[in-house]
Amino acid sequence: MQITTSRTLQALVVDDDAVARKTVAFALQREDFQCDLATDGEDACRQLDRKHYDLVVTDLRMPNKNGHALTVELLARKPRSVIVVHSCIDVPDLARDLMLRGVDDIVYKPTNYAAFAAKAKGLVLHRQPLLRTDAPDAVEANAPVSDASATAATEQQSGESEVAAEECPPVSVEDIESKRAIAADVLPVSKVALKVFELTRTECAARELGAAIECDAELAKKVLSISNSSFYRPIGKKITELDKAVVQIGLRRIGELTLAAAMLSAITQRKLAWMNAATIWQQCNSAGVAAEHLIKQGSHASIRNDLVLISILNFMGRVVLGSLYPDHYQKMIAQCQQTGESLRELEQNVFPENHAEALLRLRNVWNFPAEICKPMSRILDSYSELSQQPEPLRRRVELVKLSVFVGKLAMSSWHSWDLVEIPPASVLERLRIDAIDRVIEDTNRDTQTIVDTTPNSTTASKRPARRTNSMPTLHYWNRSPAPFDFVARLIDGMDFRIQPADASNLPMAATIVVNCSGLSKARTQQELRRLMETDIVAIVDCDGADELEVDCQVVQLPASYGAIRSVLFKASVKLELA
């Protein structure tokens, strides 16, 4: 059935290339659009102030105001036009950013103009069905659509996201306690895994543990796969017997691994709507591996008991809370995506205790050992808060926090709502970690081997091959006094191409990202003043960063991974469109 419109559709074509402007306009006119033309973003804004358009087609790279800036402005207007980006700039991160912001379509040059115009018309009619003569409530031909009606339609379309981002009602301790009985159903852990874990805390022979593991066929496969990974078996014959696998991995470690594997399998099967189960799988594995390497490098064998388990359980509390309160988490995640806040910040406003403490409240369901309670309860404390804790508690918790951070950093495995909390150099020194770069690389290598040899390893996403030529570029200057540049490693994992720069070799009109973490406010200001004529993104962790006497955009650490990446991506877009 051919669909006709009840009035002439209005389109604005924005492109500094005259041939491209006229070609797009000609194709749209064949689909009943009346077209106006603009040569750049500023010209387009002047015309948009005078007239509403059903469709705006814009290029990205243009003088005066580029297409990305124009698009951001268009998205804020009400009633909003259908927005189609028509460009030769094929950058995956740029496309993702535009689509997440709300752009309706992106079409790359060279173009099939007939199909392009037909699709654009379909987008407009889908957005505004009252313009269709076949719609049940179609208006008379040439009758204008009022701003009030269009605004109401826009608000109706955006209503879902507004509801999703509404504030969550607070949860009481009593409410969490009342759900203790259903916790086992929320995170169904294999009884065999629990038995194995209990056996490893007694004097138990490897043969007895192997026989216990054999009672769960799926668990037995996981243990054999892990024991044959290069992390546990760098050389030698393949292990096919469970008692030998127990010896290879170690009695204490086998208990932690079996319990972790059982929990991870449970959350993978549940597939919480707001959580990427593959990311959690990878984060848990990498945290455990990082803990092993940190313990070895810092000679912390005397306090190693349960550190790997605590590193892994760190993630489970959020899984449990998210399963018990799915509506709360859906709303919090929506708010994180809109505001750039971390999930931890929002959890503090909703729950009477953090997710690690909530898991401990339910620990009797799984019979976790009592000695993990204190370290678990402090796992989300900041490093400055931990400095007030006695030894060895402080050192144990710092090792766990560092394990979780290094695991995510090594695998570039983050949720956008994860909080990025970079460890101070003083903590690495206290923990005797003098080669953190080696820990990161070893964690990356060994986590890959464990994940890749585990059954159902397809659930754990591997990082795709990097296409360096299509990665957005960032000019970067490291002014941090820390011996290792965590910020550069973090940015590299976000798939940006880093171009080292400083005050003396920065190209004109470029944006520079300056790592000032570890510097005082006064020293940060001193460093940034060297770039006074430059567009600056300053990454800082000092107090009073919001009062810096320098004109720059500030990323105050700790911050959410998504917020950091968003700021950096905007900086790279400015460079791409310059």
What does DSSP assign to residue 238?
A: P
Q: Output 7 or 317, whichever has higher pLDDT.
A: 317
Assess whether 506 and 429 both reside in one domain. no
pLDDT digits (tens, 9 = 90+) for 469-488: 557 888 999 999 999 999 99
Q: What is the overall mean pLDDT for the chain?
A: 81
Average pLDDT over residues 334-353: 91
Assess whether 212 and 297 both reside in one domain. no
pLDDT of residue 148: 33
| Max CA pair span of the chain | 86
Strand segments (E) across 412-480: 419-420, 473-478
Assess whether 304 and 339 both reside in one domain. yes
pLDDT at 145 over 50: no
Q: Per the domain annotation, does 399 fall within a domain? A: yes
Sorted by sequence, the CB contacts under 8 Å of residue 289 that are 6+ apart come out as 231, 407, 442, 443, 446, 447, 450
pLDDT at 529 over 80: yes
Average pLDDT over residues 337-348: 91
Assess whether 393 and 475 both reside in one domain. no
pLDDT digits (tens, 9 = 90+) for 208-250: 888 988 888 878 887 888 788 777 776 778 888 888 888 888 8
Q: Per the domain annotation, does 176 fall within a domain? A: no
Average pLDDT over residues 166-183: 79
pLDDT of residue 138: 42
- Return phi, psi of residue 498, to 5°: -90, 125
pLDDT of residue 389: 95
Q: Per the domain annotation, does 150 fall within a domain? A: yes
Nearest alpha-carbon partner for 557 in 577, 537, 536, 574: 537
pLDDT at 191 over 90: no
User: What residue spans of 5-140 are helical by DSSP H?
Assistant: 18-29, 41-50, 67-76, 92-101, 113-127
Cα–Cα distance between 578 and 565 in angstroms, integer? Answer: 20
Assess whether 427 and 502 both reside in one domain. no
Cα–Cα distance between 149 and 153 in angstroms, integer? Answer: 6
- The domain boundary, picked from 428, 463, 498, lies at 463
- The domain boundary, picked from 216, 237, 265, lies at 265
pLDDT of residue 470: 58
Helices and strands (H and E) in the chain: how many? 26, 12
Nearest alpha-carbon partner for 441 in 493, 481, 395: 493
Chain CA centroid to CA 125, Å: 34
Assess whether 43 and 107 both reside in one domain. yes
pLDDT of residue 273: 66
Contact (CB, 8 A) for 140 and 7: no
pLDDT at 464 over 60: no
- Quickly tell me which residue has 């490893």 as its tokens: 200
pLDDT of residue 106: 92
Residue 267 — pLDDT band, cuts 50, 70, 90?
Answer: low
Contact (CB, 8 A) for 274 and 333: yes
Cα–Cα distance between 52 and 153 in angstroms, integer? Answer: 15
Q: Per the domain annotation, does 177 fall within a domain? A: no
pLDDT of residue 155: 35
Q: Output 97 or 518, whichever has higher pLDDT.
A: 518
Q: Output 509 or 461, whichever has higher pLDDT.
A: 509
Tell which phi-psi region holds residue 187, choosing left (phi > 0), alpha (psi between -120 and 50) or beta: beta
Cα–Cα distance between 541 and 362 in angstroms, integer? Answer: 35
Assess whether 299 and 426 both reside in one domain. yes
Q: Per the domain annotation, does 175 fall within a domain? A: no
Record the tokens describing residue 223, joined without a space: 């243990």
Chain CA centroid to CA 455, Å: 25
Cα–Cα distance between 335 and 340 in angstroms, integer? Answer: 8
Our count of domains for the chain comes to 4
- Quickly tell me which residue has 């980006």 as its tokens: 85
Chain CA centroid to CA 427, Å: 25
- The domain boundary, picked from 215, 237, 265, lies at 265
Nearest alpha-carbon partner for 293 in 186, 197, 434, 430: 434
Contact (CB, 8 A) for 293 and 439: yes
Give the bridge partners for 108, in sequence order: 87
Q: Output 464 or 442, whichever has higher pLDDT.
A: 442
pLDDT of residue 508: 64
Assess whether 121 and 13 both reside in one domain. yes
Assess whether 236 and 317 both reside in one domain. no
Cα–Cα distance between 25 and 117 in angstroms, integer? Answer: 9
pLDDT digits (tens, 9 = 90+) for 296-336: 999 998 887 778 778 777 777 888 888 888 889 888 988 99
**Is the omega angle on the peptide bond into residue 455 within 30 degrees of 0, that is, cis?**
no
Cα–Cα distance between 563 and 568 in angstroms, integer? Answer: 9
Assess whether 512 and 368 both reside in one domain. no
Q: Per the domain annotation, does 3 fall within a domain? A: no
Average pLDDT over residues 3-29: 85
Chain CA centroid to CA 457, Å: 21
Tell me which amino acid residue 237 is.
Answer: K
Q: Per the domain annotation, does 165 fall within a domain? A: no
pLDDT digits (tens, 9 = 90+) for 400-433: 999 999 999 999 989 999 999 999 999 999 999 9
Average pLDDT over residues 13-35: 91
Q: Output 265 or 572, whichever has higher pLDDT.
A: 572
Cα–Cα distance between 74 and 472 in angstroms, integer? Answer: 24
pLDDT at 5 over 70: no
pLDDT of residue 161: 36
pLDDT at 253 over 80: no
Sorted by sequence, the CB contacts under 8 Å of residue 228 that are 6+ apart come out as 238, 239, 453
Burial class (CB in 10 A: 0-12, 13-18, 19+), 118: middle
Tell me which amino acid residue 149 is.
Answer: S
Nearest alpha-carbon partner for 377 in 391, 363, 367: 363
**Is the omega angle on the peptide bond into residue 110 within 30 degrees of 0, that is, cis?**
yes
Record the tokens describing residue 225, joined without a space: 């796969």
pLDDT digits (tens, 9 = 90+) for 82-141: 999 998 887 777 787 788 788 999 998 888 888 899 889 988 887 765 455 554 444 333
Cα–Cα distance between 437 and 565 in angstroms, integer? Answer: 22
Strand segments (E) across 282-322: none
Tell me which amino acid residue 201 is.
Answer: R
Residue 532 — pLDDT band, cuts 50, 70, 90?
Answer: confident
Q: Output 99 or 350, whichever has higher pLDDT.
A: 350
Domain that holds residue 551: 468-577
pLDDT of residue 6: 57
Assess whether 128 and 233 both reside in one domain. no
pLDDT at 391 over 90: yes
Record the tokens describing residue 436, joined without a space: 């953190």
Contact (CB, 8 A) for 494 and 412: yes
Q: Per the domain annotation, does 403 fall within a domain? A: yes
* CB contact burial 22-36 (16+ within 10 A = b; e otherwise): ebbbebbeebebebb
**CATH for 386:** 1.10.3210.10
Assess whether 496 and 415 both reside in one domain. no
pLDDT digits (tens, 9 = 90+) for 59-77: 998 888 888 889 988 988 8
